[in-house]
Amino acid sequence: MKKIIIIKVGGAIVEHEGQLNQLLDQFAQVDGPKILVHGGGRRATKVATSLSIESKMVDGRRITDADMLKVVTMVYGGLVNKDIVARLQARGVNALGLTGADADVIRSHRRPLKNGIDYGFVGDVDHVKGDLLLTWLDQGIVPVIAPLTHDGQGHMLNTNADTMASETAKALAAYADVTLVYCFEKPGVLSDPADDNSVIPVITRTDFDRLTADGTIAGGMKPKVENALAAVSAGVGRVIITQASAIGQEGGTVIQ
């Protein structure tokens, strides 16, 4: 069965020149079909601040009003995405930069009120064209996906990058043996955020419920693990949360 690896890289790494270059060096060395999904929230926050636009977050999720939507569309779909694509081309990787609107590859709907919170122009994914992504992969093209989708009615929507990676992995699991790797600045999910040696090696759904209840998993890590668990439940072969420098190596937190 065909093997596909999907790497999701977070905004902190995108912001750090050395860490980004290291990740792209390693990504370029990964054999076989592969996809890169990137964030960029910290860059978007900086640009928004420079434009006197306030950034609002709830449980690790960004509230996206009309002004912030313009910012994230520019930053994610333009600045960050095309910078990564150009760097990959320089490394011999035939990268294709995409938002969900391009070729209608990922469509979503605007999130309804959730626990009384209006997230604004935020999209919850409805469908990923796994067959189209597979066609590009078979041609040696490496999709680089920005965390933006569309609703089919002419509107762009800000969409969590961890969700984008999970939904993409789930769509491709129907065709291939998929490994999903969430890369960020830490070596895995930590029991003590101040101790990089406190990596939790395995997290199951039961573990997740316990670790969120006691506050060990909180903030942006909560939706990341939720998306990882959803991918496993949908048939994705392997899901790992680890640091960018550990692509292709053992370690990190395995989600089961």
| Under 8 Å between Cβ of 146 and 97 | yes
Residue positions in the annotated binding site for substrate? 40-41, 62, 158
Instruction: Give me 26's structure tokens.
Output: 């390693």
How many other C-beta atoms are found inside a 10 Å radius of the C-beta of residue 173?
19
CA distance 110 to 119: 9
What one-letter code names the amino acid at 36?
A: L
Q: Which residues contact 243 (CB under 8 A, 6 or more apart)?
A: 183, 184, 185, 186, 187, 188, 252
Instruction: Give me 123's structure tokens.
Output: 């999209």
Residue positions in the annotated binding site? 40-41, 62, 158
| Under 8 Å between Cβ of 212 and 222 | yes
CA distance 174 to 109: 23
List the beta bridge partners of residue 36: 7, 144
CA distance 200 to 69: 35
Instruction: Give me 229's structure tokens.
Output: 């668990």
Instruction: Give me 92's structure tokens.
Output: 């011999």
Instruction: Give me 176's structure tokens.
Output: 């291939």
